[in-house]
A = this chain, B = another copy of it.
Amino acid sequence: MSAFTIEKKCAGTKARTGVLKTAHGNIKTPVFMPVATQGSVKTMSGEELRSMGVDLFVSNAYHLYLRPGEDVIRSAGGLHGFVSWDRGILTDSGGFQLYSLAGLRKIKSDGVHFQSHIDGSSHFFTPESVTGFQAAIGSDIIMCLDECVPYPATREYAEESMKLTLEWALRCRNKFEEIKGQEQGSRQLLFGIVQGSTYLDLRRESAARTVDTGFDGYALGGLSVGEPRENTFEIVREITPALPENSVRYAMGVGTPEELWECVENGIDIFDCVLPTRNGRNGQAITSQGKINIKNSEHKKDMSPLDDDCVCTVCKGYSRAYIHHLFHSGEILGMRLLSLHNVYFMLKSMDAMRRSIADGTFLQEKKKFLNK
């Protein structure tokens, strides 16, 4: 039985709402996952995430493997116990980190040799070891080990890498089946990742063969790595139809609120992005009227909230002037407040999308959002 059920389809677009069943609750889609790379959504507490309605966040196997490491997480009875989070957790395998740390890693057909960015120690990831690690720490959604190709990439490199990711996907799936065979009743899910850079024929081949291998969900990887936005949208538009209608679809690392509306219109169900927390820590607030930089002097005496249309605890409780002051005074509370507001903004955007898909007003709502 599929873990994903479509509930409502948009008549005029490919948008849909659905429910993804995980071992830690049912996730309503489309869903935005805040990023907890090291097991903490930066500056935020679990209580804050829960009270805002976060049902799923993304953490990172590469980081957790290096620190605190599998033995510590196992002593806590798994990742959920370790980070005190009883809702869903998706773990990325580390493909993106291995790409970010290009100077330190060497990709071979059997796996990736890399040096820890923390202490320089040598490690070797294989598709089997990374799948095993994610399963062992109790991730609800396990991502296959992939190679995330930088932009721009030559066709030769993109093709070779895409094929390596396909080989690894099969090995991940086999390892996952082996684990599932041992642990009856496990409700962990495994997602495959489509690569192929900006070459649509490579993407199509990757999609078709990843689907042939067979996964609980499908991700578009190698997006938001510096490619023009039009390329991102083209890939989403052209490749999503090559993924099974009834499987859940995840656009990794995407994106801005505008990109989320566009991708949902094209049938994407899951997103993650560091934007709300990273921008929050840098003084940028996402509002219904666009971005504002709270550090700018125009906010010095502005007693209005970050966003007049927002009812988050920050907008209900604090003025722009105060948050401006916190940033200029180097107070951590400033980063907290903007991160919280920004994550709330993303969650409310997803609420609006789900509601408007259910109502049959998705395109009108999208237009309304973009006009602001």
A47 B318 Cβ-Cβ under 8 A: no
Tell me the bound Cα distance from A336 to B331 in angstroms. 12
Tell me the bound Cα distance from A42 to B330 in angstroms. 10
B325 A72 Cβ-Cβ under 8 A: yes
Of A67, A68, A75, most buried by chain B (CB within 10 Å of CB) is A68
A122 at the interface (CB under 8 A from B): no
Tell me the bound Cα distance from A301 to B81 in angstroms. 12
A291 at the interface (CB under 8 A from B): no
A52 at the interface (CB under 8 A from B): no
A76 B333 Cβ-Cβ under 8 A: no
B83 A322 Cβ-Cβ under 8 A: yes
Chain A, 309-356, CB within 8 A of any chain B CB: 313, 317-319, 321-322, 324-326, 328-329, 331-333, 335-337
Tell me the bound Cα distance from A335 to B42 in angstroms. 12
B42 A76 Cβ-Cβ under 8 A: no
Give the interface SS of chain A, mostly helix, strand, loop or mixed: helix
A39 B322 Cβ-Cβ under 8 A: yes
Tell me the bound Cα distance from A350 to B82 in angstroms. 32
Interfacial chain B residues near A324, Cβ < 8 Å: 68
Of A44, A75, A313, A333, most buried by chain B (CB within 10 Å of CB) is A333
B322 A47 Cβ-Cβ under 8 A: no
CB-CB nearest 10 A-B residue pairs: A38-B329, A40-B331, A40-B333, A68-B325, A43-B332, A75-B301, A84-B317, A84-B318, A72-B301, A76-B303
A46 at the interface (CB under 8 A from B): yes
Chain A, 74-119, CB within 8 A of any chain B CB: 75-76, 81-84
Interfacial chain B residues near A42, Cβ < 8 Å: 331-333
A45 B319 Cβ-Cβ under 8 A: no
Closest CB of chain B to A121's CB: distance in Å? 15
A332 B335 Cβ-Cβ under 8 A: yes
A47 B301 Cβ-Cβ under 8 A: no
Closest CB of chain B to A86's CB: distance in Å? 11
Closest CB of chain B to A262's CB: distance in Å? 32
B300 A38 Cβ-Cβ under 8 A: no
Partner-B contacts on A (CB < 8 A): 38-40, 42-47, 63, 67-68, 71-72, 75-76, 81-84, 300-301, 303, 313, 317-319, 321-322, 324-326, 328-329, 331-333, 335-337
Partner of A39, one of B47, B63, B301, B325: B325
B84 A333 Cβ-Cβ under 8 A: no
A321 B76 Cβ-Cβ under 8 A: yes
The residue on B at minimum CB distance from A47 is B313
The residue on B at minimum CB distance from A83 is B322
A301 B44 Cβ-Cβ under 8 A: no
Interfacial chain B residues near A45, Cβ < 8 Å: 333, 336-337
A sample of 18 cross-chain residue pairs with beta-carbon separation below 8 angstroms, ordered by A number, consists of: A38-B326, A38-B331, A39-B326, A39-B329, A39-B331, A40-B326, A40-B329, A43-B332, A63-B329, A67-B325, A71-B301, A75-B303, A76-B322, A81-B303, A82-B319, A82-B322, A332-B332, A332-B335
A328 B75 Cβ-Cβ under 8 A: no
B322 A84 Cβ-Cβ under 8 A: yes
Tell me the bound Cα distance from A280 to B331 in angstroms. 15
